[in-house]
Amino acid sequence: MSDPSPAGEVLRAPHVLDYTYTRSVGPVIGAFLTGLRQGRILAARADEGRVVVPPTEYDPLTGRSVGELVEVGPGGVVASWAWAAHPTADQPLDHPFAWALVTLDGASTSLLHVVDAGSPSAMSSGMRVRAEFRPEAERRGHLLDISSFVPEDAS
Amino acid sequence: MSGATTPGGAGEQVTMLDAPIHIDYAFTAGLAQSRFLKGLSEGRFLGQRCPRCGKVYVPPRGSCPTDGIPTTDEVELGNTGTVTTYCVVNVPFQGQAVEIPYICAQVLLDGANLAFMGLIQEIPADQVRMGMRVEAVWVAPEELGPSMASVRYFRPTGEPDAEYDSYKEYL
């Protein structure tokens, strides 16, 4: 028996958790992801003319099954944004970017994605942006098949 | 925001999505647990005793949960203990290191007042029982490190089983 040393060294170690959920996406999100792989952004035509993207299986307000899927974008308007000055490793871009809610042309709702604008001074609510798709061979049926949005006047 | 693939060409409908989760922690063990871990790297179990109630905690957390005071005395425990309770693992899972079925037991070291989890080996799974006397089998000296991986497993000592009353508080 002895006194534990109060000045003793405290151990520290990396502890990494890695696990993967595999989820079935259903017919509507499945069609949305399939569309992305084809370079198209599909939205759901809901009640009262609202166009919902990403599409839902049911109208978020009335609960009715949505009808046909329609193509929206690739252009749109930034509804709001936040600058990410220090991106973390698992974020979509490895350099500073804006998280943004983008209201795509033809859509009634906003889609969360990133805008590769270079600097926060290039960002403003109401600015026009356009979806940049990855090359077809790199697409995999995922929201990041759109690598980013870019300011429309910069392209 | 990463992952996802569905096999098939561009025309095939996407039906599944892989959503990988990756979490980076930096784990800080604290003083008491650091002492315990360093003990493991020397092939020893180090616990701490509460100066008020006298209970010995291994692994120690630096305080007594009953009395709410620091556990000031370090105690070295022996290599033997008692299985208080256990479960049989029959389900394979990713990263499993041991062949199923195997026994995951709560082991109460002699002189300790807290049981901890240990693997039981060198006995068929269906012969393990509550009260079974076990001893720690350590990895080779050059493989010892500050981790529970220093204890390969516990195995039966062959002694008679412990009386239920001796471990009933630790189930």
DSSP labels, B23-81? EEEEEE-HHHHHHHHHHHTTT-EEEEE-TTT--EESS--SB-TTT-SB--EEEEE-SEE
Contact A151, A117 (CB under 8 A): yes
* Residue whose C-alpha is closest to residue B19's, from A143, A115, A96: A143
Classify residue B17: in a domain, yes or no: no
**Tokens 């805008």 belong to residue:** A115
**CA end-to-end distance (rounded Å), chain A:** 73
Of the candidates A113, A120, A85, A79, the one whose C-alpha atom is nearest the C-alpha of residue A99 is A113
CA distances from residue B24 to A6, A15, A19, B1, B70 in whole angstroms, order as listed: 28, 6, 12, 16, 30
Residues of chain A found within 8 Å of residue B48, distances taken between Cβ atoms = 4
**R_g of chain B computed on alpha carbons:** 21
B25 in reach of chain A (CB within 8 A): yes
Phi, psi of A111 (to 5 degrees): -110, 130
DSSP bridge pairs for B120: B103, B154
Q: Which residue has the tokens 């949960």?
A: B65
Q: Is B34 on the interface with A (CB under 8 A)?
A: yes
The DSSP-derived string for A32-86 is: HHHHHHTT-EEEEE-GGG-EESS--SB-TTT-PBP--EEEE-SEEEEEEEEEESS
Please report where in the chains the tokens 């269906």 appear, as a residue: B126
What residues does A70 pair with on adjacent strands? A43
Give the angle subtended at the CA of A45 by the CAs of A41 and A51, to the nearest 5°. 65
What residue of A is the nearest CA neighbor of B16?
A: A24
In angstroms, the CA A5 to CA A15 distance is 25
For position B4, what pLDDT does the model report?
Answer: 46
- Contact predicate B41/B145, CB 8 Å: yes
pLDDT at A43: 96
CB neighbour list of residue A1: distance below 8 Å, 6 or more residues apart: B49, B73, B74, B75, B76
Average pLDDT estimate for B166-171: 91
User: Any idea which residue has 């006298």 for tokens?
Assistant: B54
Query: By CA distance, what is A91's nearest residue in B?
Result: B1
Q: Is A26 helix (H, G, I), strand (E, B) or coil?
A: helix
C-alpha to C-alpha distance for B121 and A27, rounded to whole angstroms: 49
Reported as a pLDDT band with limits 50, 70 and 90, residue A154 is low
Q: Give the residue-averaged pLDDT of A104-124.
A: 96
**pLDDT tens string B20-47:** 888 989 999 999 999 999 999 999 999 9
Q: Please give the residue range of the domain that contains residue B80.
A: 30-164
- Spatial CB neighbours of B1, under 8 Å, sequence gap ≥ 6: A90, A91, A92, A143, A144
Report field, pTM of the whole predicted structure over 0.95: no
* CA dist list (Å): B109 to B63, B82, B112: 19, 6, 5
- Which pLDDT tens digit goes with each residue over B94-138? 778 888 899 999 999 999 999 999 999 999 999 999 999 999 999
A17 touches B: beta carbon within 8 Å? yes
pLDDT surpasses 80 at A47: yes
Domain ranges of chain A: 26-154
Q: With an 8 Å Cβ cutoff, are B74 and A1 in contact?
A: yes
Q: Which residues, other chains included, contact A72 with Cβ-Cβ below 8 Å and sequence gap of 6+? A: A41, A42, A43, A51, A53, A104, A105, A106, A107
Answer for the pair A147, A132: CB distance below 8 angstroms, yes or no: yes
Pair type for strands A146-151 and A128-133:
antiparallel
Query: Taking a contact as any Cβ pair under 8 Å apart, which residues of chain A between 31 and 90 contact chain B?
Result: 31, 33-34, 37-38, 90
B24: contact with A, CB 8 A cutoff: yes
Neighboring chain A residues of B37 at a CB cutoff of 8 Å: 11
Tell me the average pLDDT across A43-55. 93
Closest partner CB to A11 (pick from B17, B34, B75): B34
Q: What percent of chain B has pLDDT over 70?
A: 94
ipTM of the complex: 0.74
Q: Which of A3-17, A83-97, B1-15 has the lowest mean pLDDT?
A: B1-15
